[in-house]
Amino acid sequence: MFNPVITIAREYASGGRHIGKQLAKEMGINYYDRKLLRLASDDSGINEALFGLSDEVPRKASLFRAVKKVYTGELIPPDSEGFTSNENLFNYQAKIIKELADTESCVLIGRCADFILKDRPNVLRVFIHAPMEYRMEIAKGYSPHMPDRDVKKLIQTTDKQRGAYYEYFTGSNWRDADHYDLSIDSSRFSREECVQIIKKGLELFLNVK
Residue 42 in domain: yes
End-to-end Cα separation, the chain, in angstroms:
15
pLDDT in tens, 149-174: 999 999 999 999 999 999 989 999 99
- Tell me the pLDDT band of 206, cut-offs 50, 70 and 90: confident
Residue 20 in domain: yes
Q: Whose CA is closest to 207, among 124, 136, 129? A: 124
* Residues 52 and 18 sit within 8 Å (Cβ to Cβ): no
Residue 121 in domain: yes
Residue 209 in domain: no
pLDDT in tens, 80-127: 656 667 788 888 899 999 999 999 999 999 999 999 999 899 999 999
Range of the domain at 60: 5-204
Structural domains in the chain (count)? 1
Task: Report the pLDDT value the prediction gives residue 8, as an integer from 0 to 100.
Answer: 98
The pTM score is 0.88
Residue 85 in domain: yes
Residue 81 in domain: yes
Q: Whose CA is closest to 200, among 33, 27, 28? A: 27
Supply the CATH number for residue 180's domain. Answer: 3.40.50.300
Q: Calculate ∠ Cα 100-129-186, nearest 5°.
A: 100
Radius of gyration of the chain from its Cα atoms, rounded to whole angstroms: 17
